[in-house]
Amino acid sequence: MTLRIGLAGLGTVGASVFRLLGEKVAHNAARCGREIRVTGVCARDRARDRGIDLSGVTWHDDPVALAASDDIDVFVELIGGEGDPAAAAVRTALSSGKSVVTANKALLAASGVELARLAEARGVTIGYEAAVAGGIPIIKTLREAVAGNRVSRVFGILNGTCNYILTRMEKEGITFEDCLADAQRLGYAEADPTFDIEGNDSAHKLAILAALAFGTEIDTDAIHLEGITAITLEDLETAAELGYRIKLLGVARLTDTGVEQRVTPTMVPKSLAMAGVEGVLNAVAVDGDEIDEIMLVGPGAGDRATASAVVGDILDLARGGNPPPVLGIPAKTLGEAKRARMRAHEGGYYIRLAVYDRPGAFASIATRMAEQSISLESIVQKGQRDPDDPENNVRRVVLITHETTEAQIRAALESILSDGQIVGRPQMIRIEKP
């Protein structure tokens, strides 16, 4: 019996999904035991040439009407956005007993628990492999492959735009602004790149992964968020000299006080595989009690990789059987998203300061660090003078700490600021432990 697909959204990903299902009918049928056909579509512009043949497919102007149609079995939502019409269409499909496949991380981050409860109440499910890390099968890995593990940490490079920018800055000595402009020209970054470079995109993905990993409700608001706009060439060069690379990491960790979630620039030892993930690639690692650590690397975006993930979810539905719960365990049993104490991260830190070159300045800084029981691994003076200092009386200094807590670091830095021994605010970057 043919599985009939309603496809809402015919942008680059939607057109690729349509093309992939049309070109691989026999291939897909051999893998799931039945034919899969797109029978209904919806998009904003009927006249647009998408390079696909829509003859024989019913066109709908309203995605909600498509989701409610009796002529489809599965609703595929590729519209995007956390609000309507995407949200209304997905709710309509689930309420009418249709499973949903989506690439919409914003919708899931905002309403994933509610939608999971609705799906499970109606005996259907939601496939969303494409919503996190594009072509990397991390959702299936967490929901199925490592389900027998107690996961203690999930972390990774979740945004290809940021990884591309940091990679080129390090490799080619290009400023952040010039690298961002190149990323926009090449289509790796949007005209308004704020959502990517400030870490919001990574935060949506991390919130979904944390819920799956730890059996809790999705809690995007709990994520401590920092983007990459403050990262300088000097930071990248110093990190390289010290044996690190700087990556924008999303990290969700189970602690004694709850779940710590953060998206921040992080110094990763070059010896770790995560440090070698370059360009627009994504990588996600999972720490479990039985598997220790596994890491998946692949394209985190792009129409082909995303379409591949969408079609994979469709094939799973076509095979039938009892799908796993949407968020790994039944939505009604999800634990409250208990937030870890703020700034509970433990590890070393990189700190860059612009210090006045005068007697007592360095002693004052060392004293403030000691007051917070912070031990320094190294102190590096960068150059003779600060190049941005017109009066030539400021030196740039880099401190590397031994393991400490973020609360201690922030307390020390606030004291240093109040002492008036530095110019501007310090740069602080976490060092991720292996």
Say if residues 87 and 107 touch (Cβ distance below 8 Å): yes
Residues 373 and 263 in one domain: no
Alpha-carbon distance of 17 to 23, in angstroms, equals: 10
Mean pLDDT of 4-28: 95
Residues 293 and 160 in one domain: yes
Going by C-alpha positions, the residue among 301, 295, 286, 267 that lies closest to residue 429 is 267
Residues 253 and 228 in one domain: yes
Going by C-alpha positions, the residue among 154, 155, 158 that lies closest to residue 196 is 158
The whole-model pTM stands at: 0.91
Residues 96 and 147 in one domain: no
Residues 193 and 269 in one domain: yes
Say if residues 201 and 195 touch (Cβ distance below 8 Å): yes
Within a domain: 384: yes
In Å, the largest CA–CA distance within the chain is 83
pLDDT number for residue 122: 95
DSSP-assigned beta bridge partners for residue 101 = 76, 127
pLDDT number for residue 384: 53
Residue 186 has pLDDT above 70, yes or no: yes
Task: Tell me whether strands 346-356 and 427-431 are parallel, antiparallel or unpaired.
Answer: antiparallel
Residues 290 and 366 in one domain: no
**Mean pLDDT across the chain, nearest whole number?**
91
Residue 18 has pLDDT above 60, yes or no: yes
Residue 383 has pLDDT above 80, yes or no: no
Alpha-carbon distance of 374 to 88, in angstroms, equals: 52
Structure tokens at 407: 């609360």
pLDDT number for residue 332: 92
- CA distance readout (Å), 251 to 175, 205, 208, 217, 405: 26, 11, 12, 17, 16
Mean pLDDT of 108-117: 96
Going by C-alpha positions, the residue among 175, 157, 156 that lies closest to residue 165 is 175
For residue range 272-308, what is the model confidence (pLDDT) as tens digits? Answer: 999 999 999 999 999 999 999 999 999 988 889 999 9
- For 366, the 3-state DSSP assignment is helix
Higher pLDDT, 12 or 343: 12
Residues 190 and 329 in one domain: no
Query: Which CATH number do you get for residue 399?
Result: 3.30.70.260
Please report, rounded to a whole number, the percentage of residues in the chain having pLDDT higher than 90.
71
Rama region for 356: left / alpha / beta (φ>0; ψ in -120 to 50; rest): beta
Residue 343 has pLDDT above 60, yes or no: no
Query: Which CATH number do you get for residue 280?
Result: 3.30.360.10
Alpha-carbon distance of 382 to 399, in angstroms, equals: 11
Query: Which CATH number do you get for residue 61?
Result: 3.40.50.720
Structure tokens at 34: 């039945």
Residues 174 and 295 in one domain: yes
Within a domain: 341: no
Within a domain: 359: yes
Within a domain: 328: yes
Residues 373 and 281 in one domain: no
pLDDT number for residue 217: 93
Structure tokens at 104: 């919409």
- For 433, the 3-state DSSP assignment is coil
Structure tokens at 10: 């015919």
Tell me the residue range of the domain where 114 lies.
Answer: 3-135+305-333
Long-range pairs of 87-94 with CB within 8 A, sequence gap ≥ 24 = 87/111, 88/63, 88/64, 89/8, 89/63, 89/64, 90/115, 90/126, 91/115, 91/118, 92/64, 92/67, 92/68, 93/6, 93/67, 93/68, 94/118, 94/119, 94/122, 94/124, 94/126
Number of structural domains, the chain?
3
Within a domain: 27: yes
Within a domain: 290: yes
Q: How confident is the model at residue 390 (pLDDT cuts 50, 70, 90)?
A: low
Residues 168 and 264 in one domain: yes
Tell the residue number behind the tokens 């994504």, with chain if given: 282
Alpha-carbon distance of 39 to 30, in angstroms, equals: 20
Please report, rounded to a whole number, the percentage of residues in the chain having pLDDT higher than 70.
96
Going by C-alpha positions, the residue among 322, 332, 340, 259 that lies closest to residue 113 is 332
Higher pLDDT, 213 or 1: 213
Within a domain: 170: yes
Residues 246 and 314 in one domain: no
- For 7, the 3-state DSSP assignment is strand
Task: Tell me whether strands 36-42 and 58-60 are parallel, antiparallel or unpaired.
Answer: parallel
For residue range 59-85, what is the model confidence (pLDDT) as tens digits? Answer: 999 999 999 999 999 999 999 999 999
Helix runs in 349-405, H state only: 361-371
382 classed as catalytic? no
- Given 98, 105, 205, 247, the catalytic residue: 205
Residues 65 and 78 in one domain: yes
Q: What is the DSSP letter of 129?
A: G
Within a domain: 340: no
